[in-house]
Copies of this chain bind each other. A is one copy, B any other.
Amino acid sequence: LIVPVLASPSMAGRSPLARKVQHKEADRYHYGELRRALIDAALAIVGREGLEALSLRAVARRVGVSPTATYNHFRDKASLLGAAAEVGVRELDRQLREAAGGVRGPGERLEAIGLAYVMFAIAHPTHFRLLGAPELGDKNAQPELLGAYEAAYGVLLDAVKECQAAGVVRTGEPRTLALAAWCTVHGAAWLIVDGQVCVAGIASKPESLARDVVRALFKGLSARNERA
Contacts and interface: CB of A to CB of B under 8 A. Distances in A.
Interface stretch (A32-40, A93-101, A133-141): A133-141
B52 A134 contact: yes
A123 to B, nearest CB: 18
A170 B226 contact: yes
A189 B182 CA distance: 12
User: How many copies of the polypeptide does the oligomer hold?
Assistant: 2
A196 B228 contact: no
Contacts of A164: 223
A217 interface: yes
A96 to B, nearest CB: 15
Nearest to A188: B183
Contact of A187 (B129, B190, B203): B190
Contacts of A175: 202-203
A218 interface: yes
Contacts of A5: none
A212 interface: yes
A28 to B, nearest CB: 34
Given A134-B133, A168-B222, A224-B228, A149 B196 contact: yes
A199 interface: yes
Given A184-B187, A225-B225, A146 B199 contact: yes
A215 B163 CA distance: 19
Given A179-B202, A212-B179, A171 B226 contact: yes
A150 interface: yes
Nearest to A181: B221
Contacts of A177: 216, 221
Nearest to A197: B179
A207 interface: no
Nearest to A214: B180
A56 interface: no
B199 A140 contact: yes
Which 3 residue pairs are nearest across A and B when measured between Cβ atoms? A220-B220, A187-B187, A180-B216
Interface of A: 51-52, 110, 129, 132-135, 138-140, 146, 149-150, 153, 160, 163-164, 167-172, 175-177, 179-191, 194-197, 199-203, 209, 212-213, 216-226, 228
